[in-house]
Amino acid sequence: MTARIGVVTFPGTLDDRDALRAVRIAGAEPVSLWHRDKGIQQVDAVVLAGGFSYGDYLRAGAISRFSPVMGTIIEQAKAGLPVLGICNGFQILTESHLLPGAMLRNNHLHFICRDQKLRVENAETAWTADYTAGQEISVPLKNIDGRYVADERVLDELEAEGRVAFRYLDGNPNGSLRDIAGVTNAAGNVVGLMPHPEHAVEPLIGTGRTDGIGFFSSILKKLVNA
Amino acid sequence: MTTERNESAAKGRLDTVKHAAATPEAEQPWKELGLKEDEYARIREILGRRPTGAELAMYSVMWSEHCSYKSSKVHLKQFGEKVPVNDAMLVGIGENAGVVDVGQGYAVTFKVESHNHPSYIEPYQGAATGVGGIVRDILAMGARPVAVVDPLRFGAADHPDTRRVLPGVVAGIGGYGNCLGLPNIGGEVVFDACYQGNPLVNAGCIGVMKHEDIHLAKASGTGNKVILYGARTGGDGIGGVSVLASETFESTGPAKRPAVQVGDPFQEKLLIECTLEIFREKLVAGIQDLGGAGLSCATSELASAGSGGMRVELDTVPLRDSSLSPEEILMSESQERMCAIVEPQYVERFMAICEKWDVIATDIGEVTEGSQLEIFWHGEQIVDVPPRSVAHEGPTYNRPYARPDWQDALQADDANKLPRPATSGELREQVLRLVASPNQASKAWITDQYDRFVQGNTVLAMPEDAGMVRIDEESNLGVTMATDGNGRFAKLDPYAGAQLALAEAYRNVATTGAKPLAISDCLNFGSPEDPAVMWQFAEATRGLADGCLELGTPVTGGNVSLYNQTGDAAIHPTPVVAVLGVIDDVNRRTPMAFAEEGQLLYLLGDTREELGGSAWSQVVHDHLGGVPPRVDLGREKLLAEILISASRDGMIDAAHDLSDGGLIQAVTESCLRGGKGARLIVPDGLSAFTFLFSESAGRAVVSIPRSEELRFNDMCGARGLPVTRIGVVDGDEIEVQGEFSIALSELKSAHEATVPGLFA
Amino acid sequence: MARVVVDVMLKPEILDPQGQAVQRALPRLGFDGIADVRQGKRFELEVDGPVDDAALARINELAETFLANTVIENFTVKVEEEK
Amino acid sequence: MARVVVDVMLKPEILDPQGQAVQRALPRLGFDGIADVRQGKRFELEVDGPVDDAALARINELAETFLANTVIENFTVKVEEEK
Ligand SMILES: Nc1ncnc2c1ncn2[C@@H]1O[C@H](COP(=O)(O)OP(=O)(O)O)[C@@H](O)[C@H]1O
Ligand SMILES: [Mg+2]
């Protein structure tokens, strides 16, 4: 038996096919979810993929948050459903208040696409168990609204609780406070990050690294062993 | 007040067909709409009466240079006449885009278009809508768009206006393309003062489909519905016609409409997904994108290519601005719209798919038995024309052309005679200046603003010689594209310049291990009314057609952009060529990075003393003169065959083609990409200067594992390609033995600091 | 029909690189004497019917939950004109 | 120090995809009665020295040549408050 992992398509989602492919390569069963449906087909976990849902008009993720599917996901995430938000997915999670903070325009104001080095700070979440704490990985980064901000109190709290899940290495690409690339909720089931692990799962494609596969293998193991 | 106008129009002031027939002497603003007197006379002759305002609007846009190719047609004909034997061609010139067979049941469509003028006025939106337009073209062929490219030309890098134009254009291309989820896999950035008042923003797109999914722009089948879907129609891009509207509607005429359109990439993304789903269910009989000339173009082209006539109820078109006149609706270039011909039994399903994707779709008419395109406005007929006369039978000009009187003097001003570096120190300093010059410097600051990873199929992208995407995950079939065009070469000799553009793009594709199949082009020139420009155009098209015939790569389609000039000064003739290639297994691709210490570097091809139009002559002497490098297309073909075989048989680990900047530029790029240095030896019979800076065509440098050296040499020897061992991958500097060495770190900062220094 | 304007600005403590980019460009354009620039968003809402207290309360709620993200932004709502 | 506000809005005839996206989302959020939404930019300029006619003329010029692209946008300049 394998796990069923859903990937949501909002209007304007771009990396849904890539996320489905990554799920498949990791050995789980990919399931497409549609923004207008309230139901999530009893999947065991959900990936909110990258892109520009609703054009990212107003603010990235602001409109998607109010979709029927998000109503269900927000409710179930609070009850423990594993959810991974990548890039636009991370933005949706902060707009939904499942994760703290907010995403703003990069400090240099440009879209940036590059291979990005990260440190996995928390290897105990549902999505990072296959990494070791402190492990350095490289995965593509590509966004224009990637600057993570939260107020000092929240940041201190995140640090204290080990909820900064990933940090940028070798140069902060967008002005994110404390070099934060991704965070987790307190329970470790909801994780969001700006870089794209789903683009780093095949040796020839993209930057030619497979450092991102661990996200998908982590969740698969957790679900299958559960 | 706005509806009032339309109502009053409907009540009788509307210029109906009946009214036009009854008022033959009414004055019409044909001149303001850009028509010539004889063109207006021809319209009257075709119709047997004066045109209505709406008809005049349609003819004037469709007969414009941009839509009718009236000055260029006589020369473009050659692309259809000098056709190489190439069984890859599935759909040729004339459709929205050509289609080639890439094997395994797949077909690929690709095309390059210009959006030069709008991008100067509003860089962000001009460039963005350029991407949007070309993507819809590809979509209209039935293909899923899989990648975009963007060949760009700007004025001098340090001119203040370039600081306005470049960042806006780059942000616009990124803003639109990134939001569509199309990886940007290639292009060019060239600076030259000749483009100061006239930047060139060309955009290309590649689409993939199965053979059976090819869709053509035609309306046939009496009773089939004409469905307009996508964005609402607004007053964008109809600058000229407002003249007409205000003539027709007296004082209540609308304010002057903007000539620039604003794009909505989100809407386009929905349009793509929606259209692909419609294709999957085989719901359309014909389809056309709305681009230049909007509905005028789409309806007349669809009807013209079909078997019957067409009837359109123009007042059903969903509007964003209810004050638009019928003429304006016909001309509007509002973005993100498509027009489909659908059999009645499929309409419901078609509409349901549009609803699923939040795309507005409207039944605006149907295919009729007759042969006329008839358009109605609140029940009254305002257009009754033979569609072919609008879409395909526009005027053609054989404009006078003449070799300009300055051409001889320009060629006589020989770059090979320019003073050369006298010492090794000077040579070293010129190398550093070259790799740091805006044209040769790294464009990463620009290309990093484009998403090159989305869709998860990108095998190669910038700064590689060509972009490559996988199109089948099982078999690893891939397609490759490179675009090139050197306006300096074309200025010195437009015939050779066009062939050099073709040769370079062809070589770039082959360097990655892919087989070049076919080309598209974007021909950017000055005013066709200038005989010197017309000569450049005639020479360049002749050169390109001859070159394609010899290389065996047909022209599948393209775009002509004329009137690129500021006052009397035309831009350099700039034919941009996009070559499409195919690779059976992307695992075999050859990257550009010299990454393996100890591997041998070989130079393939002949190096002559050829500096006319070179980067060196520009950077060191600010000079343009002489003749461009010699073209030998037979040699290009042989070089390509060697590069492809070597990749297939695993003989080479890296390859990089030589073009502007010569050998030292290529070696610098490959060393920086791999993070390894190189020791170079100047071959016998060449000066270090010529070895490093000459821009002889038909060359590439490859990195070979020692174990493959013999086999590789044997292969080249057997096929008669000259190869020279020029050094080895080694250390952390580039050393030219007996001359100088430069640390990679120094080269890196010289190469990478320039563009961000200018624009960040 | 009445127009209600919602202005949304980043909170003062949040870095505003867009405003800064404008400000940095000013000297190049020959402008000085501008000490600070902040860039925000302006929404113009055309409201059907009367803009009474109830309507304004709803627009305030709209601004708070949707038009602005109050983690990072402040907003103001004002009725602009009657037509 | 005085604050001058420059509001830049797309011209009415120009497509405003951002405003449309907001408007289309409203019914889903349970808001109705809003006939149109347009989204523009708001620049808050903190001006050193007095905002006299000369200063305003210069800010108008700044708005015209830099803050707005008048091919597609309109702008208004107003002095907001004295501090
Ligand atoms: N505007 C652009 N968009 C995308 N890629 C670009 C652009 N300009 C340059 N590139 C990429 O940067 C690399 C170097 O460009 P260039 O020096 O022009 O290549 P070449 O000389 O081999 O034609 C290539 O991969 C090219 O596709
Ligand atoms: Mg090249």
Q: Is B700 helix (H, G, I), strand (E, B) or coil?
A: strand
Q: Where are the alpha helices (DSSP H) in B560-632?
A: 615-621
- The DSSP element (H or E) to which B167 belongs, if any, is helix B160-180
For D3-62, the pLDDT digits (tens) are 999 999 998 888 899 999 999 999 888 888 899 999 999 999 999 888 889 889 999 999
**Is the backbone peptide bond immediately before B463 cis, with ω within 30 degrees of 0?**
yes
Backbone phi, then psi, for B652, in 5-degree steps?
-120, 150
Which structure tokens are listed for A105?
């325009």
- Ligand 1 pocket, B509 CB below 6 A? no
Q: Compute the half-sphere exposure of residue D44: CA atoms within 13 Å on the CB side of its CA.
A: 17
Interface contact flag, C66 A58, Cβ < 8 Å = yes
Backbone phi, then psi, for B596, in 5-degree steps?
-110, 110
Going by CA atoms, what residue is nearest to atom 14 of ligand 1? B463
Across the interface, of C37, C47, C49, the residue whose CB is closest to D45 is C37
How big is the A-D interface in CB pairs under 8 Å?
22
Task: Tell whether C41 is within 8 A of chain D (Cβ).
Answer: yes
Contact A84, A46 (CB under 8 A): yes
Distance B176 CA to ligand 1 centre (A): 19
Across the interface, of B257, B335, B358, the residue whose CB is closest to D13 is B257
Chain D, nearest residue to C35 by Cα: D46
Q: Cα–Cα distance between B285 and A181 in angstroms, integer?
A: 49
In this prediction, residue B254 carries a pLDDT of 39
The DSSP output letter for B319 is B
In this prediction, residue B260 carries a pLDDT of 75
Residues of chain C in contact with residue A94, where contact means CB-CB under 8 angstroms, are 71
Question: From the centroid of its chain, how far is CA D52?
Answer: 21
Which structure tokens are listed for B168?
């806006």
Q: Strand pairing partners for B337? A: B230
| Three-state SS sequence of chain A | CCCEEEEEECCCECCHHHHHHHHHHHCCEEEEEECCCCCCCCCCEEEECCECHHHHCCCCCCCHHHCHHHHHHHHHHHCCCCEEEECHHHHHHHHCCCCCCEEECCCCCCCEEEEEEEEECCCCCCCCCCCCCCCEEEEEEEECCCEEECCHHHHHHHHHCCCEEEEECCCCCCCCHHHEEEEECCCCCEEEECCCHHHCCCCCCCCCCCCCHHHHHHHHHHHHHC
Distance A164 CA to ligand 1 centre (A): 38
For B124-162, the pLDDT digits (tens) are 999 999 999 999 999 998 899 999 999 999 999 999 999
Q: Cα–Cα distance between B566 and B166 in angstroms, integer?
A: 18
- The DSSP element (H or E) to which B515 belongs, if any, is strand B515-524
Q: Report in angstroms the alpha-carbon separations of C38 from A106, B704, C15, D46.
A: 16, 56, 9, 9
Q: Cα–Cα distance between C63 and B193 in angstroms, integer?
A: 49
Residues contacting residue B54 through CB under 8 Å, at least 6 positions apart: B15, B326, B327, B330, B375, B377, B382, B383
Residue numbers in chain B where pLDDT is lower than 70: 1-12, 93-96, 238-259
In this prediction, residue C82 carries a pLDDT of 55
Question: From the centroid of its chain, how far is CA D62?
Answer: 13
Interface contact flag, D13 B258, Cβ < 8 Å = yes
Q: Report in angstroms the alpha-carbon separations of D28 from A3, A94, C63, D8, D18.
A: 33, 20, 15, 28, 16
Task: Give CA torsion, residues A206, A212, A216, A219, to 10 deg.
Answer: -160
Q: Cα–Cα distance between A52 and A111 in angstroms, integer?
A: 12
Question: From the centroid of its chain, how far is CA B730?
Answer: 39
Distance A18 CA to ligand 2 centre (A): 29
pLDDT at A222 exceeding the cut of 70: yes
Question: From the centroid of its chain, how far is CA B170?
Answer: 15
- Ligand 1 pocket, B520 CB below 6 A? no
Residues of chain A in contact with residue C72, where contact means CB-CB under 8 angstroms, are 102, 104, 149
Task: Tell whether D41 is within 8 A of chain B (Cβ).
Answer: no
Task: Tell whether B121 is within 8 A of chain D (Cβ).
Answer: yes
Q: Residue B435 CA: which ligand is closest?
A: 1
Which structure tokens are listed for B136?
């819809």
- Ligand 1 pocket, B457 CB below 6 A? no
Distance B647 CA to ligand 1 centre (A): 22
In this prediction, residue D81 carries a pLDDT of 64
Question: From the centroid of its chain, how far is CA A145?
Answer: 14
Q: Cα–Cα distance between D23 and D41 in angstroms, integer?
A: 17
Q: Is B561 helix (H, G, I), strand (E, B) or coil?
A: strand
Q: Report in angstroms the alpha-carbon separations of C13 from A150, A175, B14, B44.
A: 11, 14, 59, 68
Task: Give CA torsion, residues B366, B372, B375, B379, to 10 deg.
Answer: -80
Q: Cα–Cα distance between B484 and B24 in angstroms, integer?
A: 52
Q: Cα–Cα distance between B556 and B98 in angstroms, integer?
A: 4
For C40-83, the pLDDT digits (tens) are 999 999 998 888 998 999 999 999 999 999 999 999 999 986 54
- Ligand 1 pocket, B186 CB below 6 A? yes
* Residue of A35, A63, A95 to mutate when probing chain D, most D C-beta within 10 A: A63
Q: Residue B199 CA: which ligand is closest?
A: 1
Q: Is B92 helix (H, G, I), strand (E, B) or coil?
A: coil
Token pair 């992208």 is found at B461
Q: End-to-end CA distance of chain D: give it in Å, rounded.
A: 6
Interface contact flag, D18 A58, Cβ < 8 Å = yes
Going by CA atoms, what residue is nearest to atom 8 of ligand 1? B188
pLDDT at A226 exceeding the cut of 90: no
Going by CA atoms, what residue is nearest to atom 2 of ligand 1? B187
Task: Tell whether A215 is within 8 A of chain B (Cβ).
Answer: no
- Ligand 1 pocket, B516 CB below 6 A? no
Nearest-CA distance from D20 to chain C in Å? 11
In this prediction, residue B4 carries a pLDDT of 37
Distance B659 CA to ligand 1 centre (A): 12
Q: Report in angstroms the alpha-carbon separations of B276 from B8, B149, B207, B695, D12.
A: 42, 21, 12, 45, 33
Going by CA atoms, what residue is nearest to atom 12 of ligand 1? B463
Contact A169, A115 (CB under 8 A): no
- Enumerate the active-site residues of B: 66, 115
Residues contacting residue B25 through CB under 8 Å, at least 6 positions apart: none
Q: Cα–Cα distance between B328 and B60 in angstroms, integer?
A: 12
Which residues 319-348 of B are in CB contact (within 8 Å) with D?
320-321, 334-335
In this prediction, residue A1 carries a pLDDT of 65
- The DSSP element (H or E) to which B467 belongs, if any, is strand B467-470
Closest residue by Cα to residue B759 from B191, B167, B168, B170: B167
Orientation of helix B73-81 relative to helix B531-551, angle to 10°? 10
Q: Is B582 helix (H, G, I), strand (E, B) or coil?
A: strand
pLDDT at A173 exceeding the cut of 90: yes
Q: Which atom of ligand 1 is nearest to the CA of B170?
A: 1
The DSSP output letter for B554 is -
Q: Cα–Cα distance between B470 and B111 in angstroms, integer?
A: 19
Interface contact flag, A109 C21, Cβ < 8 Å = yes
Residue type, A191: V
In this prediction, residue B94 carries a pLDDT of 65
Q: What percent of chain B has pLDDT over 90?
A: 82
In this prediction, residue B93 carries a pLDDT of 67
Look over chain A and give the mean of its residue pLDDT values, rounded to a whole number: 96
ipTM for the whole complex: 0.91
Which structure tokens are listed for B47?
């119709």
Q: Report in angstroms the alpha-carbon separations of A29 from A4, A25, A51, A213, B641.
A: 5, 9, 22, 15, 43
Q: Is C76 helix (H, G, I), strand (E, B) or coil?
A: strand
Contact B444, A115 (CB under 8 A): no
Interface contact flag, D15 B258, Cβ < 8 Å = no
